[in-house]
Amino acid sequence: MIPRTVFSEEHEQFRDTVRKFLEKEAAPFHSQWEKDGQVDRALWTKAGEMGFLCPQAPEAYGGLEVDFGYNAIIDEEIARAGLTGIGWGLHSDIAVPYIVNYGSEEQKQKYLPKCISGEIVTAIAMTEPGAGSDLQGVRTTAIKKDDHYLLNGSKTFITNGQHADLVIVVAKTNPEAGAAGTSLLLVEADSPGFKKGTNLEKIGMKAQDTSELFFDDVKVPADNLLGAEGQGFIYLMQELPQERLSVALGAIANAEAALGWTLNYVRERKAFGRAIAGFQNTQFKLAELDAELTAMRVFTDRCLELHYERKLDVATAAKAKLLTTDFQCKLLDECVQLHGGFGYMWEYPIARSWADARVQRIYAGTNEIMKLIISRELLKE
Ligand SMILES: Cc1cc2nc3c(=O)[nH]c(=O)nc-3n(C[C@H](O)[C@H](O)[C@H](O)COP(=O)(O)OP(=O)(O)OC[C@H]3O[C@@H](n4cnc5c(N)ncnc54)[C@H](O)[C@@H]3O)c2cc1C
């Protein structure tokens, strides 16, 4: 693998701390959390104490105010170890940045310190049973009445849904105005009328809590509007490149780890009197995967550099998400094949990663939607 130049020595020291923390505090318990359908809530506050939550957040609210490379390292280490139940990426890279970037001073003071300490777990609720890719079809409404919005509707597939204390809800404040009538609201989980559905049973990422959410005449204080009314779609478009970069970085880190597990396995495993690493098919498969992985790594690192410079555009982030997640799934499938029957056994990390990775092509915008974004940019007059 060619050397990476996107991380400084400080970044790498931080990586070491994150890796050791995960080895001690998460890896030994992850199988149990998969059975429980969620991680231990205490992991969040332990992470907060270590400075692993929202590292980019301003110092004024208790954050480290460091660059996105620190988030990237946390995402990579979680993905490398296959600890997919840990929802810090959704919290630190996706949800909390909305508060940092569009929140009022009052909202920042009220919520950010607790998001950083892990006392508050966040979620973002865009998807509904009837609207996923087509977010303009969102039917949840938030109608202004005096000093509050009356929130009605339901959401589904919401990551951190069970643990969430604070949810950023995408709702129509002006249902007649389409995208221009969409706003973001900060909804506290103990608000009367807000109910969490059951923890959804998934084919992978089993330790990640994912839920339906229901809003029945929830009174959301007008002060909990995030940013300006009707700007929700614009905010979403501005924040999505970072979400897609996180997914891409995780995809490559996990693919790299999976290739490593497979190299070890093919050296050990014998068939027809020799290690399966000795078959030309094995060698060629691994060589192809490694070559593609190298190219993907260079491209995603370049995207990370662009993001440091605030120059990562929507189409480039879409390319990164599309290419890396398709590749991650392809690599994992080839690696399961090289593991034979053991590759299908849950106790093997390769089997878990294979199941966990499938959703990478679906969430954060499906890979078909990534193609739409890229082609729209290509065909722009
Ligand atoms: C584990 C998990 C966690 C998730 N976490 C969250 C979360 O935290 N918050 C949240 O809001 N959502 C979350 N989601 C939802 C996720 O973002 C959506 O599932 C995704 O955007 C797709 O929407 P959909 O499921 O409604 O599929 P649909 O939009 O119904 O798509 C079905 C198929 O049609 C294709 N399709 C749709 N439109 C087009 C088009 N114009 N051209 C070509 N093909 C098209 C899609 O690509 C897909 O293949 C999560 C989902 C999962 C599974």
CATH label of the domain that carries residue 202: 2.40.110.10
Q: Are residues 241 and 373 in the same domain?
A: yes
Q: 362 CB under 6 A from ligand 1?
A: yes
Q: Are residues 132 and 60 in the same domain?
A: no
Q: How far apart are CA 36 and CA 207, in angstroms?
A: 7
Q: Is residue 149 part of a domain?
A: yes
For the domain that residue 372 is a member of, what is the CATH number? 1.20.140.10
Domain boundary among 67, 96, 120: 120
Amino acid 133: pLDDT: 95
Q: Is residue 342 part of a domain?
A: yes
Check whether residue 109 and residue 32 sit in a common domain. Answer: yes
Whether residue 4 lies inside any domain: the answer is: no
Does the beta carbon of 318 lie inside 6 Å of ligand 1?
no
CATH classification at residue 65: 1.10.540.10
What is the span of the domain harbouring residue 366?
233-378
Please, which pLDDT band fits residue 2 given cuts at 50, 70 and 90? confident
Mark whether 288 and 372 lie in a shared domain: yes
Give the residue-averaged pLDDT of 334-363: 98
Tens-digit pLDDT profile for residues 129-174: 999 999 999 999 999 999 999 999 999 999 999 999 999 999 999 9
Token digits of residue 369: 């939607």
- Structure letter (DSSP) for residue 362: T
Q: What is the DSSP string of 132-146?
A: SS-GGG---EEEEET
Residue 278, beta-bridge partner list: none
Q: Is the pLDDT of residue 356 over 80?
A: yes
Tell me the per-residue pLDDT of 66-118, one tens digit each, with 9 for 90 and over: 999 999 999 999 999 999 999 999 999 999 999 999 999 999 999 999 999 99
Based on the fold, state whether residues 129 and 114 are members of the same structural domain: no
Tell me the one-letter amino acid at 330.
K
Please write the tens of the pLDDT for every residue from 227-276: 999 999 999 999 999 999 999 999 999 999 999 999 999 999 999 999 99
Residue 62 · residue 115 · CB < 8 Å: no
Which atom, in ligand 1's list, is nearest to the CA of 161? 8
- For residues 107 and 151, state if they share a domain: no
Q: 294 in a domain, yes or no?
A: yes
Tell whether 242 and 360 lie within a shared domain.
Answer: yes
Note whether 278 and 367 are same-domain residues.
Answer: yes
Separation of CA 139 from chain center: 24
Residue 157 lies in a domain: yes
Give the distance (Å) from ligand 1 centre to CA of residue 368: 10
Catalytic site residues?
A: 243
222 lies in a domain? Answer: yes
Ligand 1 atom closest to residue 369's alpha carbon, by position in its atom list: 47
Residues 257 and 360 both lie in one domain? yes
* Token digits of residue 321: 């998400």
Structural domain contains residue 3: no
Residue from 133, 233, 321, 325 whose mutation best tests the ligand 1 pocket (most atoms within 8 A of CB): 133
Q: Which of these three, 229, 255, 287, is where a domain ends?
A: 229
Given a cut of 80, whether residue 1 has pLDDT beyond it is no
**What's the pLDDT tens digit per position in 300-336?**
999 999 999 999 999 999 999 999 999 999 999 999 9
Q: Are residues 180 and 255 in the same domain?
A: no
Answer yes or no: do 220 and 157 share one domain.
Answer: yes
- Cα four-point dihedral sign 70, 317, 353, 39: positive
Give me the sign of the Cα torsion angle 232, 233, 235, 236. Answer: positive
- Our answer on whether the CB atom of 359 is closer than 6 Å to any ligand 1 atom is yes
Domain count, the chain: 3
Show which of 120, 144, 159 is a domain's final residue: 120
Nearest ligand 1 atom, CA 126: 11
**1 occurs within a structural domain:** no
Three-state DSSP state, 216: strand
Residue 204 sits in the same domain as residue 270: no
Whose alpha carbon is nearest atom 35 of ligand 1?
368
Most informative mutation of 98, 124, 127, 246 for ligand 1 (most atoms within 8 A of CB): 127
pLDDT at 178 (0 to 100): 87
